[in-house]
Amino acid sequence: MTGSVVIRHGHEIVDDRIVYDETPLSWDEADQKAGRRLDRRMSWAFINNELCKSISYTIRCSGCSECPGEDRGMGCSECGYHGVVRQSCWVEA
Ligand SMILES: [Zn+2]
């Protein structure tokens, strides 16, 4: 996977969806702003001037699993019948 860097300026709600106002950064600009060389394989963002990186993980599908202790659900159209879904979020780097 190839990484990327963006600066998030804010967000607005359009048709009940969150739309982020982001500007892509070049790696050189991002390295300078971060004060170090960023890993080109990762996705990075500056959110409220904090350097954040994207982490992704697999979690059981909420559409077809019933018990919190289950590793995966039975499979449904929401998860493509895998019982699990990939999710990602930003964490402070
Ligand atoms: Zn499912």
Q: How far is the CA of 45 from the centre of ligand 1 (A)?
A: 30
pLDDT tier for residue 68 given thresholds of 50, 70 and 90: confident
**pLDDT, tens digit, 9 for 90 and up, residues 29-67:** 999 999 999 999 999 999 999 999 999 999 999 999 988
pLDDT value at residue 77: 96
The ranges assigned to domains in the chain are 4-92
Q: How far is the CA of 75 from the centre of ligand 1 (A)?
A: 4
Q: How far is the CA of 52 from the centre of ligand 1 (A)?
A: 29
pLDDT tier for residue 1 given thresholds of 50, 70 and 90: low
Distance (Å, whole) CA 45 – CA 54? 8
Return the number of other C-beta atoms located less than 10 Å from residue 41's C-beta. 8
Q: How far is the CA of 37 from the centre of ligand 1 (A)?
A: 39
- 70 has pLDDT over 80: yes
Query: In the structure, how many helices (H) and strands (E) does the chain have?
Result: 1, 5
**pLDDT, tens digit, 9 for 90 and up, residues 73-88:** 999 999 999 999 999 9
Cα–Cα nearest to 45, from 80, 4, 88, 2: 4
Q: How far is the CA of 26 from the centre of ligand 1 (A)?
A: 38
